[in-house]
Amino acid sequence: MTPTLRIRDLDKRFGGGRTLFGFGKKKPSVHAVQSVSLDVDRGETLGIVGESGCGKSTLARMLVGLLPPTDGSIEIEGTDYADQAGKDPAAFGKLIQYVFQDPASSLNPRKTIRQILEAPLKLLHAMPADKCAARIDEILDAVNLHAEFLDRYPHEFSGGQAQRIAIARALAAAPASWCSTSRSRHSTYRCRRRC
Ligand SMILES: Nc1ncnc2c1ncn2[C@@H]1O[C@H](COP(=O)(O)OP(=O)(O)O)[C@@H](O)[C@H]1O
Ligand SMILES: [Mg+2]
């Protein structure tokens, strides 16, 4: 069976280019992610733990298409998307979603929870307004939030509630996988199958 997420020899280097017009010394380079290979199957959760600066966030950014890899492949449901990273975030949005480390700052403070949850339904899936309402009810239920929260703004919620809203937004995109970075005693990176 094809894994949902299959990564082979993924590499990311920052810097290392020449200074302006190619003169002078080479800029210093950082090898942030070095030859990472992993598979995540349907229904599987993978945690990546490591000391600060070992490349967890860089790996997560490459997986969700925010950063192009220097080398290697990222296959989601059997298709290699490594070349698309950094080019078409909307295409990645339907495949894999990111739940950010700080949920409160990743939610737009000017939008209500309803507007935040409607955005992926309308923009990624072109869902008509009448169907959005029913889908939002299902998603709220999945993350155990009440419908009366929909017309409130992100600053009105606790950290835990904001995290659930961020997860609800990721679910609204109906991705094949999702990943999150969290700062606990050890940072973790997780990737999970469709809920
Ligand atoms: N945009 C960038 N430019 C240059 N170096 C970077 C950049 N992003 C991350 N790095 C470097 O890559 C390494 C890995 O960083 P990061 O992925 O943030 O680690 P972690 O999330 O595990 O703490 C660090 O040495 C960091 O300084
Ligand atoms: Mg990090």
Ligand lying closest to the C-alpha of residue 13: 1
Q: At CA 113, angle to CA 110 and CA 119, rounded to 5?
A: 85
Chain position carrying tokens 């993924």 = 10
Q: What is the pLDDT along the chain (195 residues), one digit of tens a residue?
A: 788 899 999 999 998 777 666 666 777 889 999 999 999 998 888 999 999 999 999 999 898 888 999 999 999 888 888 787 767 777 778 888 888 878 888 899 999 999 999 999 998 888 998 899 999 999 999 999 999 999 999 999 998 899 999 999 999 988 777 777 765 433 333 434 333
β pairing state of 79-80 and 71-76: antiparallel
Q: How many CA atoms lie within 13 A of 156 on its CB side?
A: 10
Comparing CA positions, the residue from 165, 191, 156 lying closest to residue 176 is 191
**Residue having the nearest C-alpha atom to atom 5 of ligand 1:** 14
Q: Is the pTM of this model over 0.85?
A: no
**Residue closest by Cα to atom 7 of ligand 1:** 14
Structure tokens at 145: 């939030």
Ligand 1 atom closest to Cα of 61? 17
Q: Among 10, 12, 27, 30, which residue has the most ligand 1 atoms within 8 Å of its CB, making it the best to mutate?
A: 30
Q: Mind listing the domains of the chain with CATH numbers?
A: 1-87+176-195 (3.40.50.300), 96-174 (no CATH)
Residues with CB under 6 A from ligand 1: 14-15, 30, 32, 50, 52-58
